[in-house]
Amino acid sequence: AALTGVVEYRNVTFAYPGAESPVLSNISFTARPGQTIAIIGSTGAGKTSLLSLLPRLYDPVEGQVLLDGVPVDKLDRAEITKRVALVPQRPYLFSGTIEHNLRFGKTEATDQELWDALRVAQGESFVREKKNGLGARISQGGTNVSGGQRQRLCIARALVTKPRVYLFDDSFSALDVATDARLRTALKGITRDATVIIVAQRISTITEADQILVLDNGRIVDRGTHEELLETSPTYQEIVES
């Protein structure tokens, strides 16, 4: 069977409801299974807004977002949720156990699947260290775990759903460089056949991406691999040097 998980943005323009000017203009790109597409750009460039259109947190005002060739507004939300996992920039945990939080998207996951996801997300050891393990309580908003632990639990939650498409919104920024590197190596194995779109601040997180989109003021100003952009993109060079 053909691999699913093809994401296409076709001439997408987006403004927040009630706002006059668009925050995204004429965005076009395709991300295929097995590929990692990175999005980089300064704060306010529109990276989070861009990701939000695939799971339909918002809809574009012009153009189309397609999943496996079908415009997402023609798909059931449940179908989108099954195929696409978004790890949000501000990872959210709710009051309940670690297990509840990990099963949030997929209630029928086995404990083994939860531990497997935690292992990849580099969250296994801190959960094992807790007296109640998966049964350890998380307070509302996850205030009793660190920012990095919160990010790792939210990454594990996404892995548990075994989606075709992963959207990581700056998901590695609260991790130290070594943990970030270990996590991404482990992820590579898991996401080999999946489509990965990753927003990053740290250049080291994205140098191996198949394609990097440089977003500036809601537009894709340059695109290419790390090596190509170093040669051709002044905006990218600025980001690398900053």
Q: Which residues sit at the interface with Mg ion, rule CB under 5 A?
A: 47-48, 89
| 3-state DSSP of the chain | CCCCCCEEEEEEEECCCCCCCCCEEEEEEEECCCCEEEEECCCCCCHHHHHHCCCCCCCCCEEEEEECCEEHHHCCHHHHHHHEEEECCCCCCCCEEHHHHHCCCCCCCCHHHHHHHHHHCCCHHHHHCCCCHHHCEECHHHCCCCHHHHHHHHHHHHHHCCCCEEEEECCCCCCCHHHHHHHHHHHHHHCCCCEEEEECCCHHHCCCCCEEEEEECCEEEEEECHHHHHHHCHHHHHHHHC
Closer residue to ligand DUT, CB minimum distance, 174 or 186: 174
CB 89, min distance to ligand DUT, A? 6
- Among ligand DUT, Mg ion, none, the one that 46 touches (CB under a kind-dependent 5 to 8 A) is ligand DUT
- Among ligand DUT, Mg ion, none, the one that 16 touches (CB under a kind-dependent 5 to 8 A) is ligand DUT
Closer residue to ligand DUT, CB minimum distance, 51 or 187: 51
Binding site for ligand DUT (CB under 6 A): 16, 19, 23, 41, 43-49, 89
- Among ligand DUT, Mg ion, none, the one that 167 touches (CB under a kind-dependent 5 to 8 A) is none
CB 215, min distance to Mg ion, A? 10
CB 165, min distance to ligand DUT, A? 18
CB 33, min distance to Mg ion, A? 25
- Among ligand DUT, Mg ion, none, the one that 44 touches (CB under a kind-dependent 5 to 8 A) is ligand DUT
